[in-house]
Chain A
Amino acid sequence: MSTRHILLGLLEAGPSHGYDLKRRHDERFPQARPLAYGQAYTTLQRLVRDGLAAVDGTDADGGPERTRYRSTEAGAQELARWAGAISPPAPFVTNEIFAKVVVSILAGGDPAAYLRDQRAAHMERMRELTALKTARNADLTTVLSADFALNHLDADLRWMNTTADRLTTLTAEVDSA
């Protein structure tokens, strides 16, 4: 996930303050981790340093002085390049669930019990997301992000089901040997 590119994308809509950007980010990516204000601020400064964004001016309507940023020509080019480039399809398998199952098998734990509980937790989260998505007033962004999360959870779940079945077969083979 590239926060700088996302902020660049938000700036394309027009000049904006750091706080404004943070608010719009959280709106657009409702199921993502909320953007910390400090992170938004440091990212913007780096964009300015690299010439991808520029300071557009300052506002101070009654409150503290706030810097307004805008995207530059180079920024727009960089954004287009990034948005069109493919992401490498899962180059590394680094997932906590997977790691826990492997460690559990190595250490002689109860991976089946863990998988059962994890599965239930996944289902619970999927029910939440589905409820969010099917609510009558759900907007497109919510639906899209819920869909995205649901499909990933579903993939995890399928892997967990297969693994649970594999473990059962494995245990049966060990027991009968």
Chain B
Amino acid sequence: MTDNGGTPPPLLAGRDLARAHGRTEALRGASVELRAGEILAVTGASGSGKSTLLHCLAGIVRPDAGSVTYAGERLDRLPEKRLSELRRTDFGVVFQFGQLIPELTALDNVALPLMLAGATRTDARARAGEWLERFGVRGQGELRPGSMSGGQAQRAALARALVTGPKVVFADEPTGALDSLASEQVMTALVHTAREAGTAVLLITHDAQVAAYADREVRMGDGAVRPAEVAA
């Protein structure tokens, strides 16, 4: 995975990342690159350090060692305030569950990032409605996440992650709690939208069928990215 002169630099790159939780070393020397508009699947057994890798790359945690470069900027050196702003403007996140505020309606949940960016409530809700429409859950806009099905809630969560037009979406087991049909709907919606908008996606999953939605796959084991298999 070395840069040669011809290819453009990656949008996001983590190099030799190490990170420990207490005594467990979740990451030990993991390196990964994400190109603009690319959908990359990170697979591996549970406990192989996938989620920690995502947290480091998304600037949610700082690595103990190694570097994270996003669009030429060293994320691991940015102050927390700037990181938080970056996560709001340039990144979107989708987790297995929990990223929607349970007391807010789906529409307000999707409108929230826009309101944080300074949009008025009316504008934010209008744009949020369009995004819910794209994900086929416009009709559930006034429901709270608890009253939606798992697949609907995850599609609303995708809308929330994509509504600000991020450059990268980080998805950590986005279909982990869904059955295969709901999972298919969520993944299809994610892939179509990301491709249309040119958004890069870092997709963490232990499910090969979910990983197959990506353009490329890297496998993790023991806190590091396993040697490249066959070039995709």
Contact = CB atoms under 8 A, between A and B. Distances in A.
A43 interface: no
Nearest to B228: A120
Contact of B208 (A117, A134, A154): A154
7 contacts: A123-B211, A126-B208, A127-B212, A129-B212, A130-B209, A150-B209, A157-B208
Nearest to A128: B212
A150 B212 contact: yes
A154 B230 contact: no
Q: Give the bracket for the number of chain A residues in contact with chain B.
A: 20 to 34
Contact of B230 (A121, A127, A158): A121
A68 interface: no
B18 to A, nearest CB: 22
B229 A120 contact: yes
A25 interface: no
Q: Which 7 A-B pairs have the closest CB atoms?
A: A120-B230, A126-B212, A120-B229, A130-B212, A157-B208, A134-B188, A127-B212
B97 interface: no
Interface in B205-232: 208-209, 211-215, 217, 229-230, 232
Contacts of A121: 230
Nearest to B211: A123
Interface in B83-120: none
A70 B130 CA distance: 53
B191 interface: yes
A124 interface: yes
Contacts of B232: 120, 123-124, 127
B188 A117 contact: no
B192 interface: yes
Interface in A116-149: 116-117, 119-121, 123-124, 126-127, 129-130, 134, 136
Contacts of A126: 208-209, 211-212
B132 to A, nearest CB: 20
Contacts of B217: 123
Contacts of B211: 123, 126
Interface string A100-122: 00000000000000001101110
Given A127-B212, A134-B191, A151-B209, 20 more contacts: A117-B229, A120-B232, A123-B208, A123-B211, A123-B232, A124-B230, A124-B232, A126-B209, A126-B212, A127-B213, A127-B214, A127-B215, A134-B188, A134-B192, A150-B209, A150-B212, A154-B208, A154-B209, A158-B208, A165-B45
Contacts of B229: 116-117, 119-120
A103 B115 CA distance: 63
A121 B230 CA distance: 8
A130 B213 contact: yes
B60 to A, nearest CB: 28
Interface string A17-54: 00000000000000000000000000000000000000
